[in-house]
Structure 1
C-alpha cells in the first residue's frame, strides 16, 4: 500500500472547491444563528452552557479513542480550572488533563494556533502517563508508527505514518501551510475546507507517540472558530463519536489519495451536524431558563431537585423517561409523596406523562429540536 505521504506531490492535496460552497455558506449562517440564540441567555446560563459543552466534548473526544471518562469528574475539573466553586470530586489525571485542554481551547479560541499550543495540549492529554517517552514533543522512536487492528499474530495495518526522522520537515510544511491559509494569510481558505484539510493532514503525519486523534480534533475545532468573525466552538467530537465507525473509515480512505473532495464533503456534513447539536443544546438551556422562571415559587424542594436532574441529562433526557422509582431515588421521597409530586408537576405543565401503571414515564415539557444526520449529498 502506498500512503498519501508517499505519493508524488505530497502534501499538495487537490479538491473541488465548488462542491463545498454551499457547506461553507451554511457553516457561516449556522454560526450566526447560534450566536444570536445564545444572546437570549443570561450570563449565568451562558457560562453554565460553556461548561456543559466543554465537558461533553472532553468526554466524547476521549470516548472516540476508547477511553471512558466520568463526565461529572471532568466537569468538576473544568470548573476548578475556570476558578469556579464546585464539589471536591477527585478527577483522574486523564480527566484533569483533558479538562484543562478544553478550557484552553474554548477560552483561547481566537488566539493563534502554534506548535507550542499543540505541545501544551499534548502534555495535558497525556497527564499521568508513564508509558510514553515523548510527551509535549514529536515522537522520536525508530519503530514504524502504524494504526493496526486484529490479532497480534495477524494484524491489519490501517495506516502507516511517516517515520519519526521525517517529522521536523513534515511539520514545518504543515505549520507554514496553516499560517498561509489563515484568515489573514497570503492564501486564505474557507473555514470548513481549511479545518478538514488540517485534520486529515495532521492525522496523516501522526506526529505524537499517542493522542493524535484528540489533538487533531481540537486543532480542527480551533481552525473552525478562527474562520468566524465571532469565534464559536462547533463541538465536533460529540458528532464524530456518533459516527465513529464511519469517521475511521473515511480517514482510512483519505489516507490513500491526494484528491480529497470526498473526505472534505464528509467532514463538512459532520461539521454542520455538529452545529445542529450545539444549537439544540443552546435552545434546550434557553427553554430550561424559561420553564424554571415560570415555575419559580411553585415548586417544592424535591420537585426542583428532580427537574434539575432531568435538565442535567440534556436534550436526550432520561433514557426511556423518568419513572416514579427514579424520582424516589433522586429525592428520597416516599411512594405516596412521589405520586403527589409528579401529578403536580404534570398539572403545572413542567412534565408530560406517557404510559400507565408501572410503565408510566415522565418527560420534560419542552419541544426538542430534531437532529438530522447529514450526508455529502445534502450539502454538495
Structure 2
C-alpha cells in the first residue's frame, strides 16, 4: 500500500491571488467548479491529478478551485490531529443523497423488512446478523477460522479452541453488550468495558492487564502497511483521556436544534474514524470502533442496522478502508473521504440484507412446497422449516438442542421440542447420543423422507 500523494498546499491559492492573473483568479472562483468532479465523485488529489481537467484548467488549478468549493461548505469538528489542526467535513450532494437513502432504508417500515418485523422470525434474523458481524469483524483483524466453523461454535455454545475463535466469541459478546446498553449515554467507562469484552483472552501475555485500559507510555503504537510501511502515528498516551472524553461529549450531545446540525449517521461514522485515528488501545481498536458505530446507530433509531454486517463489506476491500483514513490525513484532515466510504459500505450492507431476506423467504417457500403434499403441511413452524432446508442443502449436518436454541433465541424446552418432534414423531432427522448429549443429523435421503411423511 502506498501513501497517497498530498495535494498542493493552500499557499498555492494565495500565490495565484497575489499574481494578479485575472484569468486564473476567475477560473479559481468559478461557480462551475463544485466540491465534486463532473461525475459526482469526491476525489483525492492522488487520483484527480491523473485526470483531464475542464477546459482552461491544469490539474493543479482544477484542484485548488475544487478545494475552494469544498471549503465553502466545510464544517470544523471538535477533534484535532497530533499537530493540533482541526478535523473537518462537508456534506456535498452525494453525501446528502446517501444519508437520505440510508435513513429511508434503515428506519422506516419498508416491504422487505416485514420478514424481520414478523415476531416469529425477528430473533432468528437478529442472531444470524450478530454472528455475521462478530465473525467478519474478527476476520478483518486477523482471525483465520472459516465462517461455518465459527457459526457452529457460536450456535453450539462450545468453548473457543484457539485465538481466532476467541476473538469471534468476544465480538459476539460485544454486540450483545451494545444491544443491552444502547439507550444509555456513552462514557469512557463503557468504552473500556466494550474494549475489555472484545479483547478478553486475546491480548499478548505482556498486555493482558491492558484490556479495558488506555495504552501506556511504553507502548510503541504505530500503524503499518503489510509491507511494513509506516502509515499512521497516533496521538501520545497522555492525551488519550481528554480525547476520549471529547468523543463521548460529541456522541452524547443532542444537536438537533443547532445551527450546525450533524446527521446521526455522520456522527456515528466520525466516532468510528476517531477511534481508528486515536488508536487508544494496544489492540482491538478496529473492533471497538466498529462496535461503537453500531452503538450510536442503534441509539439514534436506525433499527435495521442491528441486522447488517459492515465488517463483511469492509473485508471485501480492506485497502479501500485504509485509504479512506489516509486520504483524510493527507488532505488537511478532511473526514469527508472516510464518511463517503462508510456510507457506501452501509448502503451495500443494507442492500445485501434485502437480498439475504429474499433468498431466505425463497428457501422457506421451497421447504413448504416439499411439505405441501405430506401430512406435515401447515404443521411445522418456521424454525423447523428453516432447519429442514439447511439439512437438505447440507446432508449429514449435525444439530443439537443448544445450537438450535442459540440460532433462534428460544428457550431450551422450545428447541428440544422442535428437534424431538422432527426426529421421533416425523422421522426426518436421525437422533443419537454423544455422551449424555442428544445429537440430531440430517440424513442424505431427507427429501424422500419428506415426500413419504
Instruction: Specify if TM > 0.5.
Output: yes
Displacement of 1:235: 2.4
**Out of 105, 108, 126, which is 1:50 matched to?**
126
CA contact (8 A) 1:125 1:211 kept: yes
In the alignment, what sits opposite 1:101? Answer: 174
Relative to 1, partners in 2 of residues 1:141 and 1:49: Cα closer, same or farther, differing over 3 Å? same
Pick one of 250, 260, 267 that aligns with 2:335.
Answer: 260
**2:328–2:336 contact (8 Å) kept in structure 1:** no
Deviation at 1:100, TM superposition (A): 0.8
Q: Cα gap change, 1:187/1:45 in structure 2, threshold over 3 Å: closer, same or farther?
A: same
Q: Structure 2: how far apart are the matches of 1:183 and 1:73?
A: 45
Tell me the CA shift for residue 78 of structure 1. 5.2
In structure 2, the CA distance between the partners of 1:39 and 1:223, relative to structure 1 (3 Å rule), is same
Instruction: State how far apart, in whole Å, the 1-side matches of 2:299 and 2:110 are.
Output: 15
Larger radius of gyration: 2
C-alpha displacement at 1:298, in angstroms? 4.9
Contact 2:367–2:388 (CA<8 Å) still a contact in 1? no
Alpha-carbon contact 2:90-2:336 (below 8 Å) kept: yes
Q: Deviations over 1:64-101 (max 9, x none)?
A: 1111245456546656xxxxxxx353324333322211
> 1:190-230 CA distances to partner (integer Å, 9 max, x unpaired)?
12211221111111111111000001011112222333364
CA contact (8 A) 1:122 1:135 kept: yes
Please tell me whether the aligned partners of residues 5 and 162 of structure 1 are also in contact (alpha carbons under 8 angstroms): yes
Matched, 1:193 2:266: yes
Separation of aligned partners in 2, 1:34 and 1:238: 24
Residue 62 of structure 1 and its aligned partner are, at CA, apart by 0.7
Q: 2:184 aligned with 1:91, yes or no?
A: no
Specify whether residues 107 and 43 from structure 1 end up closer, same or farther in structure 2 by C-alpha distance, changes over 3 A only: farther
Question: Per the alignment, do residues 33 and 181 of structure 1 end up closer, same or farther by CA in structure 2, a change over 3 Å counting?
Answer: closer
What residue number does 1:293 align with? 368
1: distance between equivalents of 2:386 and 2:264?
A: 42
Which residue of structure 2 aligns with residue 113 of structure 1?
186
* Residue of structure 2 equivalent to 1:235: 309
Q: CA deviation at 1:141?
A: 3.2
Whether 2:107 is the aligned partner of 1:25: answer no
Q: Which residue number in structure 2 is paired with residue 246 of structure 1? A: 320
User: Paired residue for 1:355?
Assistant: none
Matches of 1:288 and 1:77, distance apart in 2: 24
In structure 2, distance between residues paired with 1:231 and 1:185: 27
Residue 162 of structure 1 pairs with residue 235 of structure 2: yes
Whose relative contact order is higher, 1 or 2, with alpha carbons under 8 Å and at least 6 apart? 1
Given the superposition, is the C-alpha separation of residues 309 and 183 from structure 1 closer, same or farther in structure 2, using an over 3 Å criterion?
A: farther
1:120-154 residue CA offsets vs partner (Å, 9 max, x unmatched): 22111111133414111211133432012457xxx
Q: 1:150 to 1:229 in 2, by over 3 A?
A: closer
CA separation of 1:35/1:238 partners in 2, compared to 1, >3 Å: closer, same or farther?
farther
Structure 2: state its 5+ residue gaps.
7-79, 377-384, 395-440
Q: Is the 8 A contact 1:145 1:161 kept in 2?
A: yes
Give the one of 14, 27, 40 matched to 2:115: 40
**Secondary structure, in 3 states, of the residue corresponding to 2:129?**
helix
How many aligned positions are there? Answer: 311
What secondary structure, in the 3-state scheme, does the structure 2 residue paired with 1:14 have?
strand
Structure 2 vs 1, CA of residues 186 and 71 (structure 1 numbering), >3 Å: closer, same or farther? farther
| Shift of residue 294, structure 1, vs aligned partner | 3.3
Instruction: Sort the Cα spacing of 1:16 and 1:110 in 2 relative to 1 into closer, same or farther, 3 A.
Output: same
Maintained 8 Å contact 1:161/1:206: yes
* Cα 1:246–1:341 shift into 2, 3 Å: farther
Q: In 1, Cα distance between the equivalents of 2:91 and 2:386?
A: 53
Query: 1:243: how far off?
Result: 1.8
1:220 has 2:284 as partner:
no
Partner of 1:140: 216
Distance change >3 Å, CA 33–CA 281, structure 1 → 2: farther
Partner of 2:425: none
